[in-house]
Amino acid sequence: MEQMSNILEHVCTIFTVNTPGCHCFLKIFLNAKGIKQDSLSAYLTSKREIIINAKTETSKENEIICREVQNKLTVPENVMAENSKIMLLLNGLLLIDIPYMSFGSSKPEQSRERNGITLQECESSIQNEHNIKLENGEKLQTKHLDRHETIREGNKLILMIPLDENYKEENIKVTVVQRSVCITITNLDYSIVKQNSNKSDSKHLVQRTYYKEYEASDCIPDPESINFYVDNNRLIVNLNITKTSQLSQIT
């Protein structure tokens, strides 16, 4: 099975225009390999936020391992998130197909390769899909990684992210994908599952992974400069940035 640290991570984004009519769509692909359709759910919390959840359960000897992954997508302002279509493709990719309100002159950047999956594979995979219903989740409460404070000091970018509990630093992963700073936090919960009288109690391990991208629209974060720590239930991320205007002058 695919490693849970890779589940629901961003693979690529494609901007398409259908003719005639110039209907525009933003197609976001996430990695859902090894996840069944009935283990995926999607919620719309506002016109710009889509939450994707994935769950798996496996048994190993006398232990039941449950894993939960969540990815919260913040989409552009000029899209109709409420009309999104979410499809699990046969190649294991999860497609979020979002219509644009109007044709824009600028197109989102396309990610050419992620986790060994090429853009060509994304473009050719949109067939024989299984639809996943997008629920209205306005009342859905998600405290993980939702609110953050950003500080810019020269070429330094500082993210201060409140956490709902004091996570261990070894369970936190910070990466950079294009202009986005990606935070992955994994939490392990242990409990005892009561069996019937003929069987002994079974250990129950729940692994929850929360994934969130923070986009820096006018700068390029340096992945080699990442430094983070947890202080008083807050995740502090420090890294260097290069402004896009400076980058264009260099090139």
- Indicate the range of 9-13, 174-178, 244-248 predicted with least confidence: 244-248
> What tokens were used for 167?
């996570």
> Model confidence over 165-222: pLDDT tens digits?
778 888 898 988 877 888 888 877 765 544 444 555 556 666 777 777 777 667 888 9
89 pLDDT exceeds 50? yes
- The tens digit of pLDDT for each residue in 31-76 reads 888 888 888 988 888 667 888 988 887 777 666 777 888 888 887 7
Go through 153-182 and write b for each residue having 16 or more CB atoms within 10 A of its CB, e for each that does not: eeeebebebebeeebeeeebebebebbbbb
Confidence at residue 226, expressed as pLDDT on a 0 to 100 scale: 94
Pairing status of strand 180-193 against strand 202-215: antiparallel
3-state secondary structure of 12: strand
Among residues 121, 99, 103, 100, which one has the least CA distance to residue 11?
Answer: 121
Instruction: Give yes or no for residue 90 having a pLDDT over 80.
Output: yes
Cα separation, 74 vs 59, in Å, equals 35
Domains and CATH numbers, the chain: 1-142 (2.60.40.790), 143-186+212-251 (2.60.40.790)
> Average pLDDT of 5-18?
78
In this prediction, what percent of the chain has a pLDDT beyond 70?
Answer: 64
Closest CA relative to residue 212, chosen from 165, 160, 141, 146 = 146
Question: Which pLDDT does position 12 carry in this prediction?
Answer: 82
φ/ψ (deg, to 5) at 91: -85, 5
